[in-house]
Structure formats: C-alpha cells, structure tokens
Amino acid sequence: MATGSAYDGILASFAEFDNNGWHQVGLPAVVDTRVISYDEKASPETMTLGVCVDSSQVNVVTAEGTVIRAGTSSDRALNLLTMTRNDAGAWLVSKLSFPDNSDC
C-alpha cells in the first residue's frame, strides 16, 4: 500500500504503461531489506528501508510483443522506501527514492 508521492508515482507509471500499450513480463525479486532509520517519535511514525530489488527477469513489452526493455543480469538496484504508519497502524510507502550509488 502506498500514499503521498509514492502513490502518485505508481499511478503515473500505470498511466504511462496504459497509454503506450505496454505490459510487464516477469516479476522483480526482493533480494535484501534493511531498516536504515526509524523514528518512533515522528508524527506520523516513520522508517526508511533499503530494499535491494532484482529486475533481471523483467521485460517491458508492447502490445505487439516487441521487447522495449529487457532485463539483464546486472539489473539490481537499491530502493529507499520511506514508510509512514497510518492511524490504523498499517505501514504505507510514502516516498520512493534511490541513493547516489544504487548498487546492491
């Protein structure tokens, strides 16, 4: 689940794929997850996760079946997820970013 700029980014990505008639074949895999920071006193409570995502098995394909982006063995990236706890106690991704060196 997402909120804020992370939610807006997901909607923009869906719109781009829909407008261009693209779809994704294959699934990314989470290779590693670490808590980078945690602030229980923030309002709302927040934490930042470092998530290594392997997209080597993911291809982006047109409606005609043409691969416009093929996954490669080096397709791993460190994603920084800012998480916020909502009033119901669920953690939501509120921001997605990447460090200067996103190797993982």
Domains and CATH numbers, the chain: 4-97 (3.10.450.240)
Segment 26-81, tens digit of pLDDT: 999 999 999 999 999 999 999 999 999 999 999 999 999 999 999 998 899 999 99
What is the Cβ-side half-sphere exposure of residue 55, based on CA atoms within 13 angstroms? 16
Cβ-Cβ contacts under 8 Å for 77 (sequence gap 6 or more): 52, 53, 55, 98, 102, 103, 104
Q: What is the pLDDT of residue 15?
A: 97
Q: What is the pLDDT of residue 94?
A: 96
